[in-house]
Structure 1
Amino acid sequence: MATAKPQRTPQEVEDIIIRKIFHVTITGESTTTTGVTDSRIVYLELTAAEILSEGKDLLLSRDVMERVLIDRLSGDFPTAGAENSPFQYLLGCYNRAHDEGKKIVNMKDKNLRSEMETVVKQAKKLCVSYCRIHLANPELFASQNSNSGTGRSPLLPLIISECGGGGGMGVFGSGSDTGGVKSPPGFLDEFFRDPDFESLDRILKGLYEELRGNVMKISVLGNFQDSLRALLFLVRLPVGAKSLVSHEWWIPKGVYMNGRAIEMTSILGPFFHISALPDQTFFKSNPDIG
């Protein structure tokens, strides 16, 4: 007679789900639940030592979830590949949490399902929270593969992709390449839902400046649509509209400020500059319309 497979305890199930979401281990095992070795799984040796020193079992739980996430973000793990970038790692965690949430629905034990749904929600919330922290303070959790210092926000390709752009090309091939990156379901909604304006304002202002720069020298023959869609996406958000009108470049001030100067220096000016009509040589955009 076949021996019944031992039932996992709720603590063990919670440990497995957290390990799968955050791609970490505190036992040194870098294998998945199917026994396949995964180089993206990082061993947090110091975290494990701390947990043992507290007299706790080496099982991941909600109580240590944030500590584990901070330790993972604070280290530099070359074997993690693309996910050595803090933002890409957090985005990947959110995506895996979403996938785990879909699997949990099939659990027969209602109490266990409810507990694990809480775990997934907490994981998602932490991922979004630390994405905001990292984007507002790029120097935090900076790694060798981080986007900090490039002046480009890794959030913008997600917004462009969400708006249906990213693969579009202008008449002469100019386009916004998002690298095939897509926002996990619900990520952007949760990201911009934070009621704390200060936590998002710096991020939003950076996005507006980047969008302005994207279309600064783009003519009507180029791909300005992706940036325009992203702009519309942001200003539809109450927090996005508030951030835009409070930007110092919303209505630039100066002694010699005229229409042309406002067009060149304000956030929205470059969008209004796009035209099918030829302009003076100095202000011409690309591709040239003649």
Structure 2
Amino acid sequence: MAITMQSIKEAVEVLKSLLPADFKPEIGIIGGSGLSALEDAVMEPRWEVPYGKIKGFPVSTVPGHAGKLVFGHVGKEHTPTVMMAGRAHYYEGHELQTATFPIRVLALLGMKTLIVTNAAGGLNSTYKVGDVVVLHDHINFAGLSGVNPLRGPNLDEFGPRFIALSDAYDLELRRAAHLAWKELSKAQSKQMAMHEGVYAFVGGPNYETRAECRMLSLLGADLVGMSTVPEIIVARHSGVRVLAMSLVTNAVVMEPGPRGDAILLAESNEVELSNMLKEGKADHEEVLEASRNAAQEIKVRSMPRARRLLT
């Protein structure tokens, strides 16, 4: 599908027809794998729109992505907000221009700030499952090979042909996130730690090999995942400020696997050999479970205070 200003405007008109005339979302939130439950941060009254009702919106086929827009208000100032409960991915077969189409639509609808969340594998050995990492940079492997959401005719109405991304991750928003986390920690015992780090975007859908994870770590990545970066690129091209956070849902395996010539020297049976390879193996159900647990932790322990700190 070719992304044009006309197709974006048509989607905007559909949303306007479904929302109160005076509602214009200032903040957008993307809920990653298993994190759609964070939609509870959006207060009533709320308006929900399934992606399938919006022409041009890609519909996610991945478990853990609800596939709807949730409109409402957050924070002590009742800031108008829209949450994307789920997203589309490149590995599902969507072109990146299509996968990031919702960002264009929401920017034209009025969004000024985008908060992106995702589930990611932890490359940094100091990260634990359940920790939150505020992103301050990324490595776009797909983009370096030419797979970029800005490829093709430039949408001049949004931004210039060539954009800098050295300031992609808004410093003021990152500072606010850390201050809010400290404020929350005063009243609640720390169940999750917050860090800052670098996210590596890979195409997926397979999880990375041990050697690939070692390479990513050596190149300076703290996390690895299959989303987020295309959305951030389009948001910045659209003049939208960005705060991005990853939930560490699994610690990736970087140690070299057992060698066949070494195993042949030992008297190991088939089950034992299989278990050697399975140790630390990534699994999407485990990722979703970790995400759901973290989302519940945030909802139960932090959300009442987090709402007040969002604005």
TM-score tier (shorter): under 0.3
* Largest Rg, 1 or 2: 1
Please report the TM-score for the alignment, with normalisation by the length of structure 2: 0.26
TM-score by length of 1: 0.28
Counting helix residues as a fraction of each chain, which structure ranks higher? 1
Give the structure with the higher percent strand.
Answer: 2
